[in-house]
Structure 1
Amino acid sequence: MGGLVLGLCLKKYASDVRFDIYESAAKLTEVGAGVALSPRIWTIMQELGLEEELVKVTGAVDRAGSDLLFRKGDEAKVIDIVRFHQLHMFHRSMLQRILAEKLDATDRIHFSKRLTSYSEPTSPTEPIVLNFKDGTTATCDIVIGSDGIRSSVRRTMFANLSDESERHGRIEEASRFRAMVEPIWSGHVTYRGLVPASDLSEELRQFASTPQILCGKDRHIVLYPVSGGELVNVVSSVYTLGSGTVYDGPWVETTTSEKVAKLCEGFIPNGVALIKSMREPLCWALHTVPKLTTYIKGRSALIGDAAHAMVPFQGAGLGQAIEDGFVLANILAHSSVALANVSEALKIYDDVRRPFSQTVQQGSECTGELYQLRRAGWENISVEDSAAGRYPPELLSDFEKDAKAQMEWQYDPGASIKGDIAKVLSMLETLSAQ
């Protein structure tokens, strides 16, 4: 998805830049269900001329987006806590389809091409060589790794950084670079699935028409309609004490709605009923990328999950990939950037995007703690006491304050993506003056 947005942005802002997309799959397919775009990301969709078509596929009554309601859902009676506005929610495959259609670059998308490594050139203008699993190669001036959490670009980049540190005797630094190659388990296991609205009773359809997060101790449920209300996206997450360890089992596997419902016993009946209605739910062990010391090296750069794969609890992972592509395309389109200085230009991308996206990455973990009542004063409230309502009522107010603080960046006009672009352009003027 980050690569498609980068391609779209290059097509709009840098039509003279030739790009090729190497896709490991035999065709564009998506494993997943719903995605949500915040107002900050929606600005980019508007900039790319996608607003009208995207509004149509949401099925939302208000083109400004839908509300998302945070509720305490592990008691006998649900308690509304805080509401957020202007979120646009999609089935992931619909969003990808629209991006691919608008890109209209079938001659530039090469399928069944899984990258294994790339060679670092010895001169500023020598081509980079891409090595693929099928034994073929290709060349480019810049390589952008939008190849996911198990990124081969990240592996090559940090292996090279580690090797260079070892050659200079910086053994501890080399070890730190090596530790940034492999993803780490977050401690969360998430169960995701879709429910056809036609399968539901009228009561459940009405309940599921409100995008909401049902919060509970060490567990939470997210649900919202997608595909114009024809489907309901249902996600249940459970926390264990495994964070930072190696996950014992497949990262993704099929499960049953009955098993998932068992994990959510004690939640309000409508929430559990929607989980039981999921068709062929998938179990995901949520992994993240360590906090990287850089997103760039020479003429290579990382975007999206390759750079900052995060837990999904702010609904921000896809949005951050979109921001990466948007900012990077604006840099590459600038008149001051040429092959001879593109490595310096990529440093601007790293300076702007890495601190911001890593702050969102950390914030997503904090928001997950909040959903599961593991922060903001809830730490010592047990599962039993939470379910029985045995907790100080002011903790609900503390939850509301914390939630607003965690989500503020998505709404703050002073932290808009346009402000970031203005900063980038100013930095590029300095580059052109050098």
Structure 2
Amino acid sequence: MSTKSFRVAICGGGIGGLCLAVALSKHTHIQVDVFEGAERFKEIGAGVMIWSRTWRILELLELAPHFAKVADTQPDPAVATGFEYRRSDTKDGFKWNLVAMPYAFAEQLPKGLAHFRRRLVSYEKQAGGEIALTFADGASAVCDLLVGCDGIKSVVRAQMLRVKAKEDAQPGLLNLIEPKWTGTIAYRGLIPSTNLPSVDGARHRTLASPMMYCGQNKHVVAYSISQGNIVNFVAFASDLNRKNTAYGAEWVTNCSKDEVLQCFGGWESEVSLLLEREEKPTKWGIHHLEELPFFVTNRVVLLGDAAHGMSPHLGAGAGQAIEDAYILAHVLGAAAPKSLDAALEAYQQTRLPVANHVLRSSYESGNMYEFNSRFGDEYSALGPAIGHQWDFLTESTPEGEAEKAMRILRSLERQGIIRERL
């Protein structure tokens, strides 16, 4: 097509926003613009998990070769690996569970689509149907569809909920704007594998297998990245009585090694050896969103952490953002201007229940690792329950979810239930 049918503005250049932009750019009838507040796109963070299901989506989006250049490994469905679980909050730790699964750790955007130093401050629906965007530097833009990919502190989500709360007289929606502290802090560090000493004459366990060291109210996740040259660890400590209380303005701060060691004092030696090798750990307040009742309103749509920012205990945040992008691109690619609303409703019906389930399961998993779930430390029941937390990876396929979204779209088009709002 020589002209564009509709304009999509993507606010936020994280992994979900970029996947969506690349996927939509393949459709010649869609004009795509990405607005990013930073000076450049961020690199993929150390230790980001890309499960085989997500890798399949990257293949479908023709992005897998790009990711393969920066990933430590590519997932092999024939090879099952996973986390070994140990009870570690005593000097005599022991293995109690193993969850096996296929996994991997993880400038294809056409020129002219990216606009940097464009931090959205507000949007406004115009009388003619366009959405006017205003940025912090005074610049402006217009679009037919706004996608908020602007993270867990999303400006788009905040305005969407405020508008909806006023229009529908639902003041309770205002309580969903701000992320909530889970009551958990996390100490993070990266350690060269050459700095990890042996434990009782054996190679440190984290160099051979992803580890989940578990204790009451605390757990430590550790695994090697960069072809085994670096060990990434995250040490969590929770106080359930402080859940949903104010954490403070700064979510990420520096801290001392002594603070970390004191927090995990009395744990088995291989955990202590791991933690004492990081000289400059950082301290994170772990936040998540409460489940949203909708991701779409009035041609504004949420994606990734803006829609379902979750705690990291399933390693699923990036994968869920990529899956959002895949489904949204799929239905928008098949949509005409008159069926945009149907496409957005198909996206919402397909992704909202799954993403909210994963958000909820991520929090529950953290409680399981720290023996704070309904299973306590009954290992025979807790082990299988933890394994089932990853069922969402295999209960369906990306292709099947895309087909589901298309069936919803075509059904809505036939019924005429979702009509053009312009």
TM-score range, shorter chain: 0.7 to 0.9
| 1:113 has 2:118 as partner | yes
Alpha-carbon displacement from aligned partner over 1:109-140 (angstroms, at most 9, x marks no partner): 111111111002334xx321111111111111
| 1:82 has 2:63 as partner | no
**SS of match in other structure, 2:246:** coil
**SS of match in other structure, 2:221:** strand
Q: CA deviation at 1:376?
A: 4.1
Contact 1:194 1:279 in 2 (8 A): no
The letter of the residue matching 1:73 is: S
Q: Which residue of 1 aligns with 2:132?
A: 129
How many Å separate the matches in 2 of 1:55 and 1:46? 10
| 1:332 has 2:332 as partner | yes
Q: Which residue of 2 aligns with 1:149?
A: 152
Contact 2:368 2:375 in 1 (8 A): no
> Which 10-residue stretch deviates more, 293-302 or 207-216?
207-216
How many Å separate the matches in 1 of 2:44 and 2:280? 12
How many Å separate the matches in 2 of 1:404 and 1:208? 20
Q: 356, 370, 373: which is aligned to 1:372?
A: 370
The letter of the residue matching 1:89 is: F
How many Å separate the matches in 2 of 1:110 and 1:279? 38
Q: Which residue of 2 aligns with 1:344?
A: 342
How many Å separate the matches in 1 of 2:249 and 2:139? 33
1:265-276 paired onto structure 2 within 5 Å: 265-276=265-276
The letter of the residue matching 2:245 is: T
Q: Which residue of 2 aligns with 1:96?
A: none
With over 3 angstroms needed to count, the CA separation of the structure-2 counterparts of 1:366 and 1:15, relative to structure 1, is same
The letter of the residue matching 2:126 is: P
Alpha-carbon displacement from aligned partner over 1:199-229 (angstroms, at most 9, x marks no partner): 2235586422211111111000001111211
With over 3 angstroms needed to count, the CA separation of the structure-2 counterparts of 1:11 and 1:230, relative to structure 1, is farther
Q: Which residue of 2 aligns with 1:296?
A: 296
With over 3 angstroms needed to count, the CA separation of the structure-2 counterparts of 1:178 and 1:89, relative to structure 1, is same
- TM-score w.r.t. the length of structure 2 is 0.87
Q: 196, 202, 216: which is aligned to 1:200?
A: 196
Q: CA deviation at 1:52?
A: 5.0
Contact 2:197 2:273 in 1 (8 A): no
> Which 10-residue stretch deviates more, 242-251 or 218-227?
242-251
Provide the alpha-carbon RMSD of the alignment: 2.1
Q: CA deviation at 1:72?
A: 2.2
Q: Which residue of 2 aligns with 1:385?
A: none
Contact 2:122 2:156 in 1 (8 A): yes
| 1:22 has 2:25 as partner | no
Q: CA deviation at 1:55?
A: 4.9
Q: Which residue of 2 aligns with 1:184?
A: 180
How many Å separate the matches in 1 of 2:371 and 2:403? 38
Q: Identity rate of aligned residues, in percent?
A: 30
Contact 2:296 2:345 in 1 (8 A): yes
Q: CA deviation at 1:160?
A: 1.0
Q: Which residue of 2 aligns with 1:214?
A: 213
Contact 2:345 2:409 in 1 (8 A): no
With over 3 angstroms needed to count, the CA separation of the structure-2 counterparts of 1:332 and 1:270, relative to structure 1, is same
Q: Which residue of 2 aligns with 1:71?
A: 86
**SS of match in other structure, 1:244:** coil
Name whichever structure is richer in helix by fraction: 1
1:386-397 paired onto structure 2 within 5 Å: 395-397=378-380
List gaps (5 residues or longer) in structure 1.
Answer: 91-100, 382-394
- TM-score w.r.t. the length of structure 1 is 0.85
